[in-house]
Structure 1
Amino acid sequence: MIEEVRRRAYLAAMQVASWLPRVELPFAAPSRPELLQPLSAPEPEPAPAPEVVASVAKAVAEDAPAYQAPPAQAPVVPPATRPKIEVPRPAPQGRMAKTEAVEEATEAAVPAQPQPIAPPRFALQLLRAGACAVLVELPNGEPLQGRDPAYLLLKDLLRAAGLPDSPQLIGEPVRWPLLVRGQMDQGPEAARDFLQTFVGARLEEQAPCSCLWLVGLPAIRFAGEGDEQSYNRELQIEGLGAAWALPGLELLMDEPERKRSLWQAMQRVRQRWLNTSES
């Protein structure tokens, strides 16, 4: 009985409503005899009587209209394609034309607004080495330390030029833009005026200077009004006197081949401060 219950549960889960086994199943309920009988073929429908067929055909023939052929239609001739004529559009007139003319005149009359110039950024330190003053670019923005490679290179340059290799600091480093509040101009012109005024004031407080070293592009550009083409050349700066432009310390470390041309230029310029020291 348990097998039969389980079998019916399986059939219900598979949605099987009725089924017939091929063999006798153990523990199965007895089959119903009417389900085992073969299905009989369906009986054919009786053919209608000839009289009925004839009467139906006569009625259909009387009610159906006589067949008429559809009238012949004339062939459809497509209309002739007319050529497309482009008509030029007239220029705008009246108020629209006046508005466009006024807008064009306004655009031509109003000059383009100049783009604001970003303030330059640099850090410079003024030093004194014998008869020369040195305005040097600080590679990291911080004062030079005794173990810094840039400071060691500067000492080598001063020693090769016949100057003391332990320069003295003059004032605090100059960092631009200045960290001040308000609407102070921070552009290149303001930086140049401030730096030249600062260096001139500090040099007046010192002994007479034979030559001002400008070490690094910011020092050359904003104290000497030069550029990259001024490397290893002498400059004459109004209010500051004679100056000598040198590549930056970091640039000399990155490109050692520049030291050769620097040494050749030093041989020509060093007589300026050597003669001052001898006298």
Structure 2
Amino acid sequence: MNAELRRRAYLDAMQVTCWLPRSLLPFAAPSRPELLALDQALAEPDTAAAATDVPVASIAVAVDVAERPVPGEPPRPQPERVARPQPVAAPPVAEVAEAVARETPKAPPPRFALQLLRAGSCLLLVELPTGEPFQSRDPGYVLLKDILRAGGLPDRPQQVGDGEPIRWPLLHRGSLDQGAEAARDYVQGVLMAELEQMGCDCLWLVGGAALRFAGEVEDDACWRELDIDGIGRALALPGLEALMEEPASKAELWRMLKRSMPRWVMGS
């Protein structure tokens, strides 16, 4: 991130929407003309107020005459003079932004790996348990083939694109925003691009990461159909490891497949 982006991030953190630098900033974007006009208007002296100002010498003479004692009168008590508090200089903007950044803990970016596959007229977004692409003898991949076969789909799903998983975070270093919201936008962008190119009758979301960053739901929203804005209908399924650890969930999986199977059988 260059100096201008960092500066704008500081101003956004302090909710500053309108500002003008006192001097030329290195690598800064050019100032907007309306802000320069406002700055010049503030810098011009107020001639009307200057014309009505009373000379300082006249004020001093008037105060001296008022304070002189009158002969024959007891001296009047002088009012106690209270020292006016001196204005405290505001800390620089950069220091305020750094203090806000230190006080607000930044959540670490989410970490996941998703494999995008195509089986017949269905598109599958499957969370990789190990973070690596499926191998032919992986227990999770064998279970996935069984599920596709039970759903009336080809049991050899094809990898989409170059076959590389969707990994997050994208960068291991740098100041680029890689939070949960950015991860969701990235995953949904990949899905929209694939759907725009080839389309599908139904999208399967398998695993917690697929549900959170593609379906915008939590892990407990399984066994139902989702309506995702910009993507369409999708099946919410638990991860392959959870299915292997809980054999009783296979009955719920079979009921869901029978309920949703006409969506891709009729489409084919």
Q: How far off is 1:181 after superposition?
A: 4.8
- Indicate the SS of the match to 1:231: coil
Q: How do 1:163-242 residues align onto structure 2 when only pairs under 5 Å count?
A: 163-171=153-161, 172-179=164-171, 181-206=173-198, 208-242=199-233
Q: Distance in 1 between matches of 2:251 and 2:105?
A: 41
Q: Distance in 2 between matches of 1:256 and 1:177?
A: 33
Q: How do 1:1-279 residues align onto structure 2 when only pairs under 5 Å count?
A: 113-171=103-161, 172-179=164-171, 181-206=173-198, 208-277=199-268
Unpaired runs of at least 5, structure 2: 1-98
- Indicate the SS of the match to 2:148: helix
Unpaired runs of at least 5, structure 1: 1-109
| 2:133 maps to amino acid | P
- The CA deviation string for residues 227-257 of structure 1, in whole angstroms up to 9 with x for no partner, is 1221111001111111001010011111111
Equivalent in the alignment of 1:3:
none
Q: Distance in 1 between matches of 2:118 and 2:176?
A: 30
- Indicate the SS of the match to 1:263: helix
Q: Distance in 2 between matches of 1:136 and 1:163?
A: 16
Aligned pairs, how many?
A: 169
| 1:134 maps to amino acid | L
Structure 1's consecutive aligned runs of 4 or more residues displaced over 6 angstroms after TM superposition are none
Greater relative contact order (CA < 8 Å, ≥ 6 in sequence): 2
Q: How far off is 1:271 after superposition?
A: 1.2
Q: Distance in 2 between matches of 1:168 and 1:203?
A: 15
| 2:116 maps to amino acid | L
- Indicate the SS of the match to 1:270: helix
Q: Distance in 2 between matches of 1:181 and 1:239?
A: 31
Q: How far off is 1:180 after superposition?
A: 5.7
- Indicate the SS of the match to 1:228: coil
Q: Distance in 2 between matches of 1:205 and 1:180?
A: 30
Q: How far off is 1:269 after superposition?
A: 1.0
Greater Rg by CA: 1
- Tell me the TM-score normalised to structure 1 length: 0.57
Q: Distance in 2 between matches of 1:115 and 1:179?
A: 20
Q: Distance in 2 between matches of 1:210 and 1:149?
A: 27
Q: Distance in 2 between matches of 1:250 and 1:240?
A: 26
| 1:173 maps to amino acid | P
Q: Distance in 2 between matches of 1:249 and 1:231?
A: 13
Q: Give the superposed CA RMSD.
A: 2.1
Q: Distance in 1 between matches of 2:173 and 2:180?
A: 18
Q: Distance in 2 between matches of 1:186 and 1:257?
A: 37
| 1:179 maps to amino acid | L
**Aligned-residue identity in percent:** 59
- The CA deviation string for residues 61-92 of structure 1, in whole angstroms up to 9 with x for no partner, is xxxxxxxxxxxxxxxxxxxxxxxxxxxxxxxx
